[in-house]
Structures are given as C-alpha cells and as structure tokens.
Structure 1
Amino acid sequence: MKHSLPACPRHIGILRLSALGDVCNLVPTVRALQRQWPEARITWIVGKAEYSLLDGLDGVDLVVYDKATGLKGMRAIWRQFEDVRFDVLLHMQQALRASVLSLGLKCDVRVGYDKARAKDWQHWFTHRQLAPHPRAHVLESFMDFARLLGVEDTRLDWSLPVPEAAYEEARQLTGDQPYLVISPCANPRLRNFRNWSAEGYAAIIEHAWQRHGLKTVMSGGGSPLERDMGEQIRRLCPDIEIIDAIGRTSLKGLLALLDRARVVIAPDSGPVHMANALGTPTLGLYATTNPDRAAPYCWRNQVVNRYPDAVRRYLKKTVETVSWGTRVRHADAMALITLNDVVDHLDRLMAATDDTALAEDATEPSHEG
C-alpha cells in the first residue's frame, strides 16, 4: 500500500537529532515548509546540544531527545506524544536508534531517504521515500523532503536566533576589533582525521595579522584534544596576540562570535556550517570528506579541496569511482593541504568579500539579532 502525502499538512514532525552542522543545513528546509504552510505546526525532535544551538527558532516546537538516555529517553518521548498524530513525519536521521524512536510516533505517513541514500536500513522504517538525487549536497538532501511534499519555493533562509546576551558574550572576548575565527578541530571522534596541523594554523594566524590586520580568535569545545591543539598553536605564535575562546563560549555565544567575524577558517565541522548559516565568509579545509557533499553551502567555491588527492593516494581510486560520501580515514590525509593552499584561498576570500560583497556563488542567508 502506497501512503499518500498530505496536500496541506496541519502538523509536520521532523526527526533529526544531530549533528550541529547538519541541523544548520536543515533549517532552510524548515523555512521553506513555513513559507508553504504558514499555519502548519512544526515539531522538531532534536538532540540536546543541537537544541542549545536552535533554541528560539521561531514557529518551531523543539523537543529534546538525549541519546545518552537510551530506551528510557525513547519511552519518555513516546509518552509525551502518545496523544499526538502527525500528518507527516520527516525521518531525516539515518541511524537505527532514530528509526526505532520513529516507530513510537504516530503519523499518517513516515518519509525517509531513497534506498541509495538511506543508511542503517532506514528505508525499512518509512512509508515513502525521496526521489533519487545522486551526488546531492547534505543541504539539498534535506530540501528534497520539502520538494517531495510539493514545496517549490526553496530559497535559502536561516534566520537563526542569536540573543543580545550572546553578542555581549562575544564582545567580552573580542572587543570591537576585526578578527578571524579559527576553529582548528572537528569533533574528536575515533578515526575522524579531519584536523589540519598546528603549524599550518600558526602560519595562517601570522599571515592574517601581517597581510590583513586581523587578530585571530580560536574557538572550540573543551575536550583535551581541542585544548591541546590550542596550546600548540599558541606556542608557535609567541609574538602574536591570540584570543583563546576554546571551551569558553556557549553555543549561542559561538554563533555571535562567528556572526561578528570577518572570516572563519575550520575543517569539516559544525562551525563552518554555523558561519555559513550566518552569512559570514567561510573557508573550509577539506581532504578526508567530500566538499561537494558537505562544504559550507554558500561558500563552496572557496573551499580548500584536497579530497580528490586523498582519494587517489590513500584509496587508490578516483572521486568518480568511490561511493558518494566516502571518507578517507587516513591520519595523513589533511597534510595534503598546503600552507599556500590556505593562504591563497584566504586572500581571495578577503578580496571577494571586501566591502560586504559576497563570494561569486553565495546566496546571503539572513539571521536575527
């Protein structure tokens, strides 16, 4: 039996728990749904950290599921929604845990990814699947859910809520001087291998100061790996003032810090997508993940892209012959990014965005202060 899609949904459920970058990429889909059906109620089940980032998103009921609570937390969600029935549930989290969670939510139709994009057998848990969209960027994959429901206006709009208290938090760290944000580390997960070198970052910090008059703010979480990276970078820049914000901001404070920055440099991680959502010029450093799939969307032409080289060297294949989304899990892959790569891209990005001009292919998102 083929479940029909609602022509005018009254209550839309969204299930996407993580991660920070992914939920940023999903917000334009939420905005597209709101433009199409301004009277519809939208409920988004989201992870704990992601809730802190999105808190205050207008027109959306955010409900937290903390994966650390396991089955107990699932049962709490099911009880919370036992009297709720969604016209459509958009199952956007490709994880078995999320699929099990989805089964306890009542809905007329549960929509998931097409078989080619589905992971962890997600297509077994959904009634309807997206139309195939080979080689899609993550943001476009999310937007495909809106397209399946009949949404045609897919203009990009984030309008992320950033309270004034967050801007004050950022100003306390930076003052009013222009600055570059470097977020040197990606999520410290096993075999992630997305981080560039401390030596490379230190050289870029010196170049940004000498060439562009930009001080550097280092951001990140408080993990031992991130703190150690920050210490290494500072030791390599003894004569340059660096504002250390690693582990010293809330997520809203980080949003404000990124919003006020002249430019942001980071590997494939939450901050490049957060900066992208705020319209801040963003320079992503990519070698272990494919930027065609996961670059900061509005700044794709500005990415340092050594992914094809990494695929050739460490997988002995080409980008065209590996499956979409393949990661190069090799500790030396990010070393393929040279200092000249980053210097050249930074200089071009600064020139392209001088006097608030956008990069050639950028669509300027909006946000709320």
Structure 2
Amino acid sequence: MKHPLPAHPERICVLRLSALGDVCNLVPTVRALQRQWPQARITWIIGKGEHSLLAGLSGVEFIVYDKGSGLAGMRELWRRLSDTRFDVLLHMQQSLRASILSLGLKAKVRIGYDKARAKDWQHWFTRYHLASHPQAHVLESFMDFARRLGVDPTITSQRPEWGVPIPDEAYDEALRMTGEEPYLLISPCANPRLRNFRNWSAEGYAAVIDHAWSQYGLKAVLTGGSSTKEREMGARISALVPPEATIDTIGQVSLKTLLALIERARVAIAPDSGPVHMANALDTPTIGLYATTNPDRAGPFLWRHMAVNRYPEAVRTYLHKEVDEIPWGQRVRHPDAMSLIHAEDVIERLDTLLSESADET
C-alpha cells in the first residue's frame, strides 16, 4: 500500500550520513522543515564525523551511524529505532549502504531522488521521488525534499538559514591559537580520496599568503586534517613564506574549533571540500577554488560569485567538450586540472573581498 504524503508530519527522519560539506548544505532544508512544522520531531541519521560538526543543532535528534561498523552497526541502529515509526523518511544519501540501512527503518512514506539525480539504484528503495530539477546546486537538491512535502515555497526561496552551534570552548581554543589579530584562513587540501585531484599547489597558496601579509598584514591560518599528505602540504606552504606569515594548525583542531577559526576569519580560501561549505554556513567571505568540479553545482552557495572557476576550461582541455555537452556534475579527473588556477586569480578575489569589508567598516 502506498501511503499519501503527510500534510502535517509529526515524525520526520533525515537519512544523510556524509560528507562534511554535504551535511552543511542540508541544514537549510532542516530549518525549512522546522519553520513549516515547528512541532514536528526531526531525527537525523548521520555519520560520526559529521555529527561532531553539527552536534547541538537546535531541534534535531541525531542518531549516529559509524560507517565502519558494517552490518552489525546497522542492526544496532535498527534495534534502537525498532519502536519508532516515522511519518516520512527523507532518503538523502545516494549510496547502496545507506539504502540497505533504510530498509530497517519504519516509515509510512519514503522520498528519494528522481531518476536523473539518483545513484546506486536509490530509486528502487523509495516510493516517492523528487520533481525534476536539472542543473540544481547541491543545496537546492536537498531543498527539493522539503518542496516535495509541500513546504511553503516562500520559505524555501528565502535566504538559507544555518545556525550551526559553536561552543565557548571552541572559541577559546581558536583565540589561543591565533590571538586577537585578524587573519586569512586557508584549508589547502580536500579529502584525500582516490582520483580526487582537487588540491591546488603549495606555490599558489604561498603567493596568496605573501600578498596578504605584505599588502594587508594578514597572517594565514592553515587548517586541515591529520593525514600525512595534509601535514606535508602545510609544511611546504610554510617553507615558502616568511615564518611570521603563517599559523599552522593542521591536524591540531576539532571540527568545532575549526568552525570557530572560520567564523573569526576575514576570508576563507579552500578547494572543493568541507571547509568552503562550513565557511559559507557561517557567512564568512569565501573563495572556493574550482577546476575539477563545477561551482554552479557544488560551490559555496552564498559565495559562488567569488569562486575561482576554471571548470569550463578544464572540461575543454581534458574532456575536449563544452560544459553543456557533459552530464551535470561530471568531474574532471585529471591531476593537472587545478594548475589552470593562477595565483593572480585568487589574489584578485581576495583584494575584492578585503576592499568590500573595509568599505563596510
């Protein structure tokens, strides 16, 4: 039996496990649901690292699923929710693992992506699907779930709302690391996945840092995870600039402290990765570096106009096509694609943002 879409859902389940940037882009949809149905209980099934980023988000009950726990972890989650029946399940994770996980959840209505956007056979696991939305930004794709439920379109069309909480101790730690002086934040590395190729060069970042330091007296706070590749990148950047021009925090901060560092920054610079979307969520001026992915689809939503966009050139150079000739969201998986970005491109954006912020003060 196919249940009708609920007019006033009382229990809503959001299934989205990863990744950091994606869960940031999903928060405005949660806020839209909360504005439409303030009495509804929202349960979000989320990954462990992603939960550490969003922990404390108002009005949301998080259920953490450790993606490394396999079937045993799924069974434990199913047991935990065995007495819970949701009015609607928003299946927002396009992976076979998440679809299998969804089978053990009790929900009257299951909504997933339309066939054009679905991956890993996700549409086989849901009864309702999104309306077609070609060339949607990731944030807008998430918002389409709210629209499918009939959320007031004036709510989904207004400026996105986040309200990601940052604890006092995170601000204290950020201040201890940086002091009171203003700074530029740079997160130089994207997730080190196979054939990712989203990272720019140490030399490029160093040129930007030199400019920020010599022209504005701004230090650069380097951030990132604890992988060897990220630590090596930080060391290479620091070796190319005056020692007083950088503060290297790579591998030293929690995600909440990273949020505090980003919020206090004058400008954040990063490739297509979690930190650009974290900065976007905090309304910190953001320069995204894009060549392997399309910023119109995956750029920092409020700051897409400030992205350094070499994606069309990368498509022409390495795929030998134009952007409108390839599938929406296709990546350019070539190790040289990010070399199409020049330091002058980033410096021009930086000068623009710093001059705008100076005009506002």
* TM-score where L is the length of structure 2: 0.97
* Residue of structure 2 aligned with 1:329, choices 330, 333, 342: 333
Query: In structure 2, the residue corresponding to 1:246 is in which secondary structure?
Result: coil
Query: In structure 2, the residue corresponding to 1:344 is in which secondary structure?
Result: helix
Query: In structure 2, the residue corresponding to 1:68 is in which secondary structure?
Result: coil
Q: CA deviation at 1:318?
A: 0.8
Q: CA deviation at 1:354?
A: 3.0
Match of 2:318 in 1: 314
The answer as to whether partners of 1:3 and 1:128 remain within 8 angstroms in 2 is no
Counterpart mapping for 1:261-340 below 5 A = 261-340=265-344
Take 2:321 and 2:3, find their aligned partners in 1: how far apart are those partners?
41
Counterpart mapping for 1:6-25 below 5 A = 6-25=6-25
Q: Which one is further off, 34-43 or 207-216?
A: 207-216
AA matched with 1:78 = W
Match of 2:140 in 1: 140
Match of 2:229 in 1: 225
Take 2:82 and 2:164, find their aligned partners in 1: how far apart are those partners?
30
Match of 2:128 in 1: 128
* Residue of structure 2 aligned with 1:260, choices 251, 264, 279: 264
Check if 1:93 corresponds to 2:97: no
Match of 1:83 in 2: 83
CA 1:102–1:11: 2 relative to 1, 3 Å: same
Counterpart mapping for 1:160-199 below 5 A = 160-199=164-203
The answer as to whether partners of 2:24 and 2:277 remain within 8 angstroms in 1 is yes
Match of 1:361 in 2: none
AA matched with 1:221 = G
Take 1:173 and 1:334, find their aligned partners in 2: how far apart are those partners?
30
Q: Which one is further off, 314-323 or 2-11?
A: 2-11
Q: CA deviation at 1:121?
A: 0.6
Q: CA RMSD in A?
A: 1.0
Match of 1:45 in 2: 45
Q: CA deviation at 1:353?
A: 3.1
Q: CA deviation at 1:238?
A: 3.6
Q: CA deviation at 1:209?
A: 1.0
Q: CA deviation at 1:240?
A: 3.8
Query: In structure 1, the residue corresponding to 2:8 is in which secondary structure?
Result: coil
Q: CA deviation at 1:210?
A: 1.4
Q: CA deviation at 1:212?
A: 1.9
* CA offsets 1:202-235 (integer angstroms, 9 cap, x no match): 0100001112221110000000000000010011
Q: CA deviation at 1:350?
A: 1.7
Take 1:354 and 1:297, find their aligned partners in 2: how far apart are those partners?
23
Take 1:305 and 1:356, find their aligned partners in 2: how far apart are those partners?
26
Q: CA deviation at 1:239?
A: 4.7
AA matched with 2:322 = T
Take 1:252 and 1:212, find their aligned partners in 2: how far apart are those partners?
28
Counterpart mapping for 1:340-355 below 5 A = 340-355=344-359
Q: CA deviation at 1:349?
A: 1.9
* CA offsets 1:29-73 (integer angstroms, 9 cap, x no match): 000000000000000000000000010001000010011001110
Query: In structure 2, the residue corresponding to 1:44 is in which secondary structure?
Result: strand
Take 1:356 and 1:142, find their aligned partners in 2: how far apart are those partners?
33
Q: CA deviation at 1:2?
A: 4.8
Take 2:176 and 2:194, find their aligned partners in 1: how far apart are those partners?
34
The answer as to whether partners of 1:281 and 1:353 remain within 8 angstroms in 2 is no
Match of 2:108 in 1: 108
Query: In structure 2, the residue corresponding to 1:108 is in which secondary structure?
Result: strand
AA matched with 2:276 = V
The percentage of aligned residue pairs carrying the same residue is 68
Take 1:354 and 1:306, find their aligned partners in 2: how far apart are those partners?
28
Take 1:324 and 1:116, find their aligned partners in 2: how far apart are those partners?
10
The answer as to whether partners of 1:16 and 1:45 remain within 8 angstroms in 2 is yes
Q: CA deviation at 1:356?
A: 4.6
Q: CA deviation at 1:348?
A: 1.2
Query: In structure 1, the residue corresponding to 2:222 is in which secondary structure?
Result: strand
Take 2:171 and 2:239, find their aligned partners in 1: how far apart are those partners?
29
Take 2:296 and 2:230, find their aligned partners in 1: how far apart are those partners?
27
Take 2:357 and 2:274, find their aligned partners in 1: how far apart are those partners?
22
The answer as to whether partners of 2:86 and 2:108 remain within 8 angstroms in 1 is yes
Take 1:60 and 1:104, find their aligned partners in 2: how far apart are those partners?
21
Question: Once superposed, which parts of structure 1, at least 4 consecutive aligned residues long, lie more than 4 Å away?
Answer: none
AA matched with 1:301 = H
Take 1:319 and 1:352, find their aligned partners in 2: how far apart are those partners?
31
Match of 1:159 in 2: 163
Take 1:147 and 1:348, find their aligned partners in 2: how far apart are those partners?
36
* TM-score where L is the length of structure 1: 0.95
Q: CA deviation at 1:339?
A: 1.2
Match of 1:366 in 2: none
Runs of at least 5 residues in structure 1 that lack an aligned partner in the other structure: 358-369
Runs of at least 5 residues in structure 2 that lack an aligned partner in the other structure: none
Q: Which one is further off, 292-301 or 1-10?
A: 1-10
Counterpart mapping for 1:48-63 below 5 A = 48-63=48-63
